[in-house]
Structure 1
C-alpha cells in the first residue's frame, strides 16, 4: 500500500459524516488537527491526484491536475491554508475512483470491470449484477457519479469514507462507468480485472435511444438537474417543451438530435468507447480490442451468455430500454437531416459489423 493511500485512508476514517447543512463541520474538524499532520496529508492528496491524472489522461483524467495544485510547502504553510486545501481535495470528484484503482492493486477480491457505452442497456445489466450478487459482497461503483450535477461535494466525502470502510469486506469488486477501453488500459484496470466486458448496440438504435431517453426525462423528471441541463444545452428554452411532449414528442426528439450539443456529445459513441485514439481507423479499433484478451463484447442477443459467465440469475427478456419510444428508425431516416445523420454515426456504422464479429469470438 502506498504512503499516500495509507495517509488518505487514515484521514478519511476520522472525518465526520457530513450532511447538506453541516459543511462547516469538516472545516472545524480539519482546523482542530495539528499543522504537522495537515501538511503531509495535503501533499499525499496532491500526489494521489497527480498520480490519478497520469493514470487516466483521456476523458476521465483530463483537467483533474490543475495549475493551482502545487506541492511546495511554502505555497500553503499555514494551518488554515492546509485545511482549506484538504477540504477542497476530498470534495473533488477524483478521489473515490482513485481509491478503487489503488485498492485493486492489492486486493484479493475478484475485480469485474464494465466499459459502459451509453444507451447500450448497461444500467439494467449493472442493476441485475448488483441484485444477483448482493450488497454485502459487492460494491457497485459507477463512475457516472463523478458528474458534479449528480452528487453534492459533501456527499462525496461520505461516499469516500464508506468506500474505504467496506473495501476489506468485498469479495467481488464491480467497477462500471462511461469510460473507454483505452482509459481502462491506461489505468491498468484491464490487468487488474479478472473479467472485463462491454456491451454494444446498433449505432442508429443508440442515437434513437438517447433522444427518447432525454424526452422521457423532460417529461417525467423536469426538475432533475440533468433534465434542466439538457433543456439548456440543447437550446430548448424558447420552445414550449411541456406542450410538445404531449402533442408531438417526436418533433421534440428531432430537435434534440439536431442540436449542436447532442451532435457534439452523443456522436459515434462506439468509436469513442473502443478506439485507442480519436482518429483511429476501423482496423486499429479491431486490433485494440483483439490485443486485450480479457475484453469480452456482448450484444443484446448474447446477454444470456454474459449472465451465464457471471452467474447471474435474472430474466434477459425484460425490456432493456425503459424510455418511451417517441422517434423510431423510420423517423430517424426520414426526418433527421442527412448531414446530421452522417455526423452522428459516420464512424460507428463501419465499426458496427466489426464489433459484432468480435462479440462472437
Structure 2
C-alpha cells in the first residue's frame, strides 16, 4: 500500500495558490483514494487522539485490503497543534496540491469548525471524531460533505448531567474550557440541568490549556453547589480532577462531574483519583464481544486500549471506504449521500445511522469509573450503568438548527 509521509508543522502552514483538481463525479480520482488526518499529535488531546487514531484508521484501510477495486488507499497525517489557522491551511494545501478525498480529525472544536468550512468550500468529505461541539451539525453544519461521528455536547450532557440531576444532584457550578468546545458543552449541560429541575449557581472560564485550576476550584467550592461540572477534556480534565482531590472537595461533600472523560484520562489519573466519576461515552473496549475483539487487535498494534475517539476514527474510515466501493467514486457529495443510506454497525457503533444534518446517531453509554478494588487490572476501568439509545442521547433533527435541512 502506498503511504504518504507524515507532515508535522512547527508553525502555520501556507496555503498554495494552485486550484484544486476537479472531481468528475464518476470513478476514483487520481487512481487513488486519499485520506488526510489532522490530529493533536503533541498537545493536551494527543493521548486520546494522536498516533492511536492513525493506528485505528490504518486498521480500517487494512480491513479493506489496502485498495478499492484496484485503486490504492493513501494516508497522510499532520499535527494541527490545536490551532484553527494551521488546520485550515493544511486542509487547503492538501486540497490544492494533493487532491485529498477525505479529511478526518480536528480533535478541537475550533479546529473542527474551521476544517468543516474549508472542506465544504473545496468539496472534500470531512468526518469529525474528536471535536465535541454540536455546532458542527447545527449553526455550522455542512451536511453535503461534513459529518460528526463519535459524540457531541448534546449527547454528553444528556447522559452525565441528566443522570446526576435525577439522583438528586440538582445544583451545579461549571468550570469551563474557554473556547468553542467548552462553551458549547457548558451551554448544553446547563440546559439539561435546568430542564430536569436543577439549578446553576454559577460558572467560571479557564484558559485552554491550564495547569493550575486552584482559583477556579476554590470559586466552585465557595459556590456551595452540589456538583462541580467540568466542561473540559484531556489534560485539563486530569489537572482539575487531581487538584479537586488535593483540595478535599469531594471529601467536603461536593461531587465532581467530568462531562467528557476518556479512558486515557483514567489511566493517567489512576483509579484512586478517578473512582466514582460518572461519564458518558460512545465506546468502551469491554462493552461487548465485538468491541473486545477489535480492541485486542488495536492494543497489539498501539500498546493501549482505544479511546472512543480512536474507535470512532476506525468506524468512520471503514464506512467511508465501504461507501466509496458502493458508489464507485470518491466524489465527496456522492459518498456522503451513500453513508446516509447505510446502517452503521461495526466494532464501534451500535444502531448507528447518519442523519440528514450530518450527525451519526448511535447508542451511547452511561458509565462510572470503578474503585481500585473493583478493577481486575489495567484498562478495566468502567462499569457500564446503562445504554442510552441514540435518539435519546442526541438532539432531535426537529430541535436542531442546521439551516441546510430546515428548508
TM-score of the aligned structures, taking structure 1 as reference length:
0.28
Higher helix share: 1
TM-score of the aligned structures, taking structure 2 as reference length:
0.25
